[in-house]
């Protein structure tokens, strides 16, 4: 601290009168002078989001509409979010867009493009690509649909799709249920979410289909939780192309 105070005092004397440099040894003068301003050598443009800056691909038969936020939400402390409605042959989905994400629907572009207000903000830059990925999944869901194939590997492991259940109550009229037989003494019945379809092309295969990818994969994960793949015999419920590396048997 003493050296810092001494250096500060010497700098003030140098700024007051140049003649005071005679009282300071010549080899110490450069240490008390102000350092030159650092020069920046970075000349590259800011990195843009590779996913967020890509235009959305809208196939024929799908309508993409952006609804502005309501007048009531504009006076709130947090900015109101606009809503995107996507309608296609397989259904209709909607999604709320953050206030800092803008959607450019210029007909001259190949498709709607997303931009953010501040590309240097971490949250905005992260949600830029995430929002675009969600919108593209919704567009694909209402046009072609999303699917998940569950494979049952084990002695007696199988599943069936039933119209009624004995252990749970239906959540909506006409709900179907997936009945799992994976080694438990009691029946395992899971209600199929609304808007999804389930079928069993084979006793050891279960096909899930739906317009919303998040719902389809979440229901597949819920079924997989009942029998996670184990690494010694390779038994369990596998989702899509999931594999597991087998281990050697335990020896004493």
pLDDT digits (tens, 9 = 90+) for 8-49: 665 665 565 555 445 666 666 665 566 666 666 555 566 677
Locate 239 and state its tokens: 């989702």
DSSP code for 18: G
d(CA 189, CA 207): 16
Mention every residue, 6+ apart, whose C-beta is less than 8 A from residue 154: 182, 183, 227, 235, 236
C-alpha separations of 51 from 14, 48, 56, 85, 213 in Å: 56, 9, 10, 21, 18
Report residue 1's pLDDT band, with 50, 70 and 90 as the boundaries.
very low
Question: Considering the entire predicted model, what is its pTM?
Answer: 0.75
User: Mind listing the pLDDT tens digit for each residue in 81-130?
Assistant: 889 999 999 999 999 999 999 999 888 888 899 999 988 888 998 899 99
pLDDT at 65: 92
190 touches 133 (CB < 8 A): no
Say if CB 188 and CB 160 are below 8 A apart.
Answer: no
Confidence label for 80 from pLDDT (cuts 50, 70 and 90): confident
Given a contact cutoff of 8 angstroms between Cβ atoms, the answer to whether 112 and 136 are in contact is no
How far is residue 75's CA from residue 96's CA, in Å, rounded to a whole number?
A: 18
β-pairing verdict for 205-210 and 146-153: antiparallel
- 185-223 residue pLDDT tens: 998 999 999 999 999 999 999 999 999 999 999 999 999
Do 96 and 79 contact (CB within 8 A), yes or no? no
3 state SS of 57: coil
What gap in Å lies between CA 184 and CA 191, rounded to an integer?
Answer: 18
Cα 10 to its chain centre, rounded Å, is: 57
Contact 122, 116 (CB under 8 A): no
Neighbours of 98 (CB within 10 A): 17
């Amino acid at each position: 601290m003493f050296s810092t105070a001494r250096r500060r005092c010497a700098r003030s004397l140098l700024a007051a009168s140049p003649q005071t440099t005679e009282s300071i040894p010549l080899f110490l003068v450069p240490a008390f002078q102000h350092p030159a301003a650092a020069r920046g050598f970075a000349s590259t443009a800011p990195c843009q989001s590779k996913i967020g800056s890509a235009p959305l691909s809208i196939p024929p038969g799908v309508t993409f509409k952006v609804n502005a936020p309501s007048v009531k939400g504009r006076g709130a402390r947090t900015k109101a979010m606009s809503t995107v409605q996507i309608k296609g042959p397989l259904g209709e989905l909607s999604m709320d867009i953050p206030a800092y994400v803008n959607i450019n629907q210029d007909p001259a572009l190949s498709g709607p493009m997303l931009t953010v207000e501040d590309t240097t903000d971490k949250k905005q830059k992260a949600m830029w690509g995430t929002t675009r990925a969600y919108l593209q999944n919704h567009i694909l869901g209402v046009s072609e649909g999303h699917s998940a194939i569950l494979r049952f590997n084990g002695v007696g492991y199988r599943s069936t799709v039933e119209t009624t259940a004995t252990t749970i109550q239906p959540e909506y009229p006409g709900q179907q249920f997936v009945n799992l037989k994976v080694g438990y003494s009691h029946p395992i019945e899971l209600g199929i979410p609304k808007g999804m379809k389930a079928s069993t092309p084979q006793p050891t295969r279960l096909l899930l289909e739906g317009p919303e990818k998040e719902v389809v994969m979440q229901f597949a994960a819920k079924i997989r939780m009942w029998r996670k793949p184990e690494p010694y015999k390779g038994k369990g419920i596998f989702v899509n192309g999931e594999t597991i590396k087998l281990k050697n048997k335990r020896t004493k």
